[in-house]
Amino acid sequence: MSKIFKCFSVKEWIIFVVILGFLGLNAYCNLTLPEFMGAIIGDLQKGAMIGNLNLFWNDILKNGGLMLLLVTGAFLSTFIVSYLSAYIFTSVMAKVRRLVFEKVNDFSMNEINKFSIASLITRSTNDITQLQMVMIMVTNMGLTAPIMAIVAIIKIVNLSYDLSIVTALSIVALLLLILIMFIFVVPKFKKVQTLTDKVNLVTRENLTGIKVVRANSAEKIQEEKFKEVNTKLTKTNIFINRVAGIMNPGITLIMSGTSLALVWLGAYLISNGSVGFETLTEFTQYAMQIILAFMMVSLLLILVPRGMVSAQRIKEVIKSESSIKDGEGIFSTEEKGTVEFKNVSFKYPGADDYVIRNISFKAEKGQTIAFIGSTGSGKSTLINLIPRFYDCTEGEVLLDNVNVKNYKLNDLHDKIGYVPQKGVLFSGTVEENIKYGNENASEEDIENAIKISQAKFVYKNPEGLSSHISQGGHNVSGGQKQRLCIARAIVRKPEILIFDDSFSALDYKTDKTLRQALKKHIKGTTCLIVAQRIGTIRNADQIIVLDEGNMVGIGTHEQLLKKCKVYKEIALSQLKKEEL
């Protein structure tokens, strides 16, 4: 919670102090009202007894005017507290939301997989909204309700001991009701948030894979998955709401019973002269304030645990540290554009088996190194170690003869242009998506990147670079998306370009033209290419063949055909002997 409180600025703390002042004013107004009400009833009673109400009329008007002033003060203070608390907590939660977003942005894949994307979305939205609502409610009610209850109890004890016993019994009944709520409802709140994560997970999975779902007529399967988690969430919420539903009629019953008991006992006490009518009126007002205060506390006891669960979930994100740390950075090297793996092995966190084992090779500046192998052989995993999406378990990955762990992450990523296996575009224009790789890129740089990546299709649209790209790039084809992603990497002008099976959606002609353009226009850039097609990599300076995580061959296309059985099998499965 300390990091959340740090989101309060000096201005917001000052506003909070002002809120406390108005809460004090509100409590004073509400606690003073019964005294003036009792005074007015007393004056009316005296006037009725002597048969001349005019003698007390000025006092009645004076007390009535003061009551009106107190009611106005209570109304204005309540309005100001509600307005200011909504303002500061909305502002603070906006900062917390940004803090969570920035923290998640710094996470490595380990942390993202640990929490799950669906859970991180829930924590960034639903949990923060829950916490915001609770903080507003606590400020508006939680700070004044205990004070009002305590002061009102002191006042009624001084007014009448006999009537206080009735109120004490009512308070005990309220506390029992609150205890029942606390025992049965509070443990369910964490379950609700966890189930909300699961609903988000199923919904996100269904929407992301909607094409696959429809193509396989699997709507019923997905509906059943959603129905299962949705039913669990619904049942849990129904249970909470049913138990919470006992509160209102329960409190109403206690309030009505208290009023009835006070009137019955008060009539008896008035008849034997123990208390006056004005005392009973004042006492009844204070008793209702006590019950209302406890009702507010009971409501908070339902909401606060839910808010605490949300706060804990937010705290878990904020306190989590990325397993990928910045290195010391700032050093100069003689080598530029070189990549070297020294006895590198890697296994995913929590896994028993290594994905890649004892990989060693070196890519010199300007070389093209290709990786090929069967599905699951570790190709993508291997190149993901270079930009430190993961850190190798054993061995060293060197960039310009410096261990990648020693670089500051920003400096490391500035050296690399990365094109992922699945092209990712963001909502905006074509130009904005390309400049995502380099916001300072000139018009000439963008045109050059488009030319090299064979993305000239953008000029066929009348809007050209201003053409709109929908979220996820759903309004362009897979091949167009890949070419725009390649243009985005090229415009960075990096030392090293990494293509993680980034030509898979391109036809053979475009693939060949693009590779020729890369070779011609970015001669000094080192290219690392993961591919499935022999045609994509056959002209590479070195081809590394992976099989079940092991490097089983390295060399040129011709060399590997002669000495690497795995490579030859892959080649023959794609091309005829004459073509090879």
Question: Which pLDDT tens digit goes with each residue over 95-104?
Answer: 889 888 888 8
Predicted local distance difference test score (pLDDT) of residue 55: 61
Cα(290)–Cα(146) distance, rounded to whole angstroms? Answer: 9
User: Which contiguous run of DSSP H or E holds residue 413?
Assistant: helix 409-414
Q: Which three-class secondary structure state does DSSP give residue 435?
A: helix
Q: In what order do the strands lie in the sheet with 416-419?
A: 402-403, 394-399, 339-346, 356-363, 550-555, 542-547, 368-373, 526-530, 496-500, 416-419
Q: Are strands 416-419 and 496-500 parallel, antiparallel or unpaired?
A: parallel
> How far does Cα 393 stand from its chain's mean position?
30
Within a domain: 357: no
The encoded tokens of residue 115 equal 């929490």
Q: Is the pLDDT of residue 538 over 70?
A: yes
Highest-confidence segment of 109-113, 395-399, 460-464, 507-511: 395-399
Count of C-beta atoms within a 10 Å radius of residue 376: 13
- Of 419, 176, 159, the C-alpha closest to 269 is 159
Start-end of H helices in 125-160: 128-137, 145-159
Residues 313 and 432 grouped into a single domain: no
* Averaged pLDDT for residues 341-370: 89
CA pair distance 563, 229, nearest whole angstrom: 54
Rounded to whole angstroms, the Cα distance separating 332 from 313 reads: 42
- In this structure, the answer to whether residues 309 and 454 fall within a common structural domain is no
End residue of a domain, out of 270, 293, 319: 319
Q: Is the pLDDT score of 5 beyond 70?
A: no
CA 493 – CA 522 distance, rounded (Å): 9
Q: Which of 199, 190, 138 is nearest to 309 (CA)?
A: 190
Average pLDDT over residues 113-142: 84
The stretch 439-457 carries a mean pLDDT of 87
**Which CATH number characterizes residue 452's domain?**
3.40.50.300
| Residue 260 exposed, middle or buried by CB count within 10 Å (0-12, 13-18, 19+) | exposed
**pLDDT, average across residues 303-309:** 79
pLDDT for position 46: 63
Structure-block tokens of residue 66: 């003061």
DSSP tag of 139: I
Q: Does 98 map to a domain?
A: yes
427 shares a domain with 314: no
Is residue 482's pLDDT more than 80? yes
| pLDDT at site 343 | 93
Q: How confident is the model at residue 74 (pLDDT cuts 50, 70, 90)?
A: confident
Pull the structure tokens for residue 397: 């990955």
Identify which of 323, 395, 409 has the alpha carbon closest to the alpha carbon of residue 110: 323
Angle at 55 between CA 51 and CA 59, to 5 degrees: 125
**pLDDT score, position 580:** 54
Nearest residue to 510 via CA among 483, 538, 474: 483
d(CA 550, CA 357): 6
pLDDT of residue 44: 65
- Position 148 scores a pLDDT of 79
Mean pLDDT over the full length of the chain = 83
Q: Are strands 394-399 and 402-403 parallel, antiparallel or unpaired?
A: antiparallel
In this structure, the number of other CB atoms found within 10 A of the CB of residue 200 comes to 20
Kind and range of the H or E run holding 528 = strand 526-530
Residue 178 clears pLDDT 80, i.e. is over it = no
pLDDT digits (tens, 9 = 90+) for 10-29: 888 888 899 888 888 888 88
Q: How far is CA 104 from CA 113, 316, 389, 427, in A?
A: 11, 11, 14, 20
Q: Do residues 528 and 496 make contact, with C-beta atoms less than 8 angstroms apart?
A: yes
Res 359: pLDDT: 92
Instruction: Judge whether 572 lies within some domain.
Output: no
Residue 302 lies in a domain: yes
Judge whether residue 49 has pLDDT over 70: no
Question: Does 313 share its domain with 443?
Answer: no
C-alpha 517/C-alpha 515 separation (Å) is: 5
Using pLDDT thresholds of 50, 70 and 90, give the confidence band for residue 360.
very high
pLDDT at 447 over 80: yes
Domain end call among 297, 319, 341: 319
The verdict on 424 and 311 lying in the same domain is no
Rounded to an integer, the average pLDDT of 237-248 is 79
CA distances to 164, 183, 251, 465, 486 from 532, in Å:
84, 59, 70, 31, 18
Measure the N-to-C terminal CA separation of the chain; round to a whole number of Å. Answer: 65
Going by the DSSP 8-state scheme, the letter that residue 320 receives in this structure is: P
**Predicted confidence (pLDDT) at residue 345 exceeds the cutoff of 90:** yes
Residue 390 domain-assigned (yes or no): no
Q: 289, 319, 349 — which closes off a domain?
A: 319
Confidence label for 341 from pLDDT (cuts 50, 70 and 90):
very high
Determine contact, residues 98/14, Cβ cutoff 8 Å. no
What's residue 126's pLDDT?
83
CATH of the domain at 106: 1.20.1560.10
Is the Cβ–Cβ distance between 261 and 166 less than 8 Å? yes
| Residue-range definition of the domain harbouring residue 466 | 417-493
Which amino acid, residue 193?
Q
Percent of the chain with pLDDT over 90: 8
Domain identity same for 151 and 281 = yes
Query: Residue 579: what pLDDT?
Result: 57
Nearest of 519, 544, 524 to residue 335 by alpha carbon:
524
Residues 422 and 304 reside in one and the same domain:
no
- Is there a domain that residue 333 lies in? no
Flag whether 578 is in a domain: no
| Percent above pLDDT 70 for the chain | 94
- The DSSP secondary-structure symbol of 421 reads S
Give the up-direction half-sphere exposure of residue 515: CA atoms within 13 A in the CB hemisphere: 25
Query: How does strand 550-555 pair with strand 468-469?
Result: unpaired
Residue 539 DSSP label: T
**pLDDT at 197 exceeding the cut of 90:** no
Question: The tokens of 558 are what?
Answer: 């011709």
pLDDT tens sequence across 266-294:
777 777 767 776 777 777 777 777 777 87
Return the pLDDT at 319.
Answer: 87
The model's confidence at residue 545, banded by pLDDT at 50, 70 and 90, is very high
For residues 397-406, give the mean pLDDT.
90
Residues 315 and 458 in one domain: no
pLDDT, tens digit, 9 for 90 and up, residues 549-573: 899 999 988 888 888 888 888 888 8
Single pTM value for the model: 0.73
- Residue 477 inside a domain? The answer is yes
Structural domains of the chain, count: 2
